[in-house]
Amino acid sequence: MFLQRLWDACGREWRWLTRKNVVLSVSPEGILDKRVMDELVPWQAVLAIRQAKYTSTIVVASGGHGGAVPVTTEGTLVEIDFDACYLSGGGDWTLRRVMTLKVKEMPRVDSDTIYRMCKFYWSNRSQ
């Protein structure tokens, strides 16, 4: 009962925290980043792939009297524009709905590797 209430309260975040399988998958069929989506994006749906710089700032509470320290990180991510009509819940096939999947670096895979893999599979996709 407690887990069901927790599931209802947390939803997507709970699924992400309890996931034990692969988070990012790049294959000849498409790309799946379970951190942001639950469905594979086929290469036929991909419109563009590019790299972009990002800056992220979080505020970390420091020990003491309510002080906080901003921490800024920078990096590169892979942006993938795709037509959401290819997905199962894509809706009306007559309207193109462009969405962007932003894939950040993984602990053991840098963004250059992810970018090269995506470009390779995308350029070799079956039309």
What is the C-alpha separation between 99 and 75, in angstroms, rounded? 22
14: pLDDT strictly greater than 50: no
Residue 117 host element (H or E): helix 111-123
Q: The domain that contains 7 carries what CATH number?
A: 2.30.29
pLDDT class for 32, splitting at 50, 70, 90? confident
What domain range is 52 assigned to? 2-123
CB neighbours of residue 81 within 10 Å = 14
What is the C-alpha separation between 59 and 78, in angstroms, rounded? 25
Q: What is the pLDDT of residues 65-116, one digit of tens each?
A: 767 888 888 888 888 888 888 777 655 555 556 677 787 777 777 888 888 8
What is the C-alpha separation between 99 and 8, in angstroms, rounded? 27
What is the tally of structural domains in the chain? 1
